[in-house]
Structure 1
């Protein structure tokens, strides 16, 4: 697994072990939750995740952040990044509710893992 342009995530993966960083999503969220996660990713979060990140399912080709299709983050990684930010990524702790952050995380994991 290649970790691109996100040193904090590389350290996290080292601490947790690479197997944990590639873990698949255990259960698929319902369609409404996935659609809300996609909308938050594409345009509703400020700034929108799609501005920086590549994610094929969201038709996003952002050139700044890690390519999420390549990285295939797990739910805890996405939640930590949304909460804490990192590198050029801002924290979304003040701009998205906990439920919204969890919805984005569920969507990103669903979109980047085989289902």
Structure 2
């Protein structure tokens, strides 16, 4: 079992333990900050990333689900362009995991 899979099984959910890496979380942060062009941080506020964009919704307040982020990133929404052709499925899954995870506790 890898470190990013070590956790506690509670009510059928795997809860990662602090101190153990979450590779998909780190990959998603990288997509959010660097790989998406333009960067998600240009338009969105997300405290975990230190992003203070004001064009798109404040993700800390919106706290979107994985599915909501995947749909928005893949197809675009409002003035947000689609990234379905410029990011891989793995990158989209990673950024969706990242945003939904870091905003879930807010």
CA deviation map 1:46-85 (0-9, x unaligned): 1110000000001000110000000000011001001110
Give the number of the structure with larger relative contact order, counting CA–CA contacts within 8 Å between residues 6 or more apart.
Answer: 1
Per the alignment, residue 31 of structure 2 pairs with: 40
> What is the TM-score normalised by the length of structure 2?
0.78
Q: Point out the structure with the larger helix share.
A: 1
Structure 1 gaps of 5+ residues are 1-25
- Alpha-carbon RMSD across the aligned residues, in angstroms, is 1.8
Question: Matched residue pairs, number?
Answer: 90
Structure 2 gaps of 5+ residues are 1-12
* Displaced runs of 4 or more, over 3 A: 26-30
**Correspondence list, 1:19-38, <5 A:** 31-38=22-29
Indicate how the Cα distance of structure 1 residues 71 and 64 shifts in structure 2: closer, same or farther if over 3 A, else same.
Answer: same
1:84 aligns with 2:71: no
Per the alignment, residue 22 of structure 1 pairs with: none
Indicate how the Cα distance of structure 1 residues 86 and 58 shifts in structure 2: closer, same or farther if over 3 A, else same.
Answer: same
> What is the TM-score normalised by the length of structure 1?
0.72
Query: 1-side partners of 2:77 and 2:49: how far apart?
Result: 22
Please, which of 44, 50, 60 is the counterpart of residue 53 of structure 1? 44
- Mark the structure with the bigger radius of gyration: 2
Q: Point out the structure with the larger strand share.
A: 2
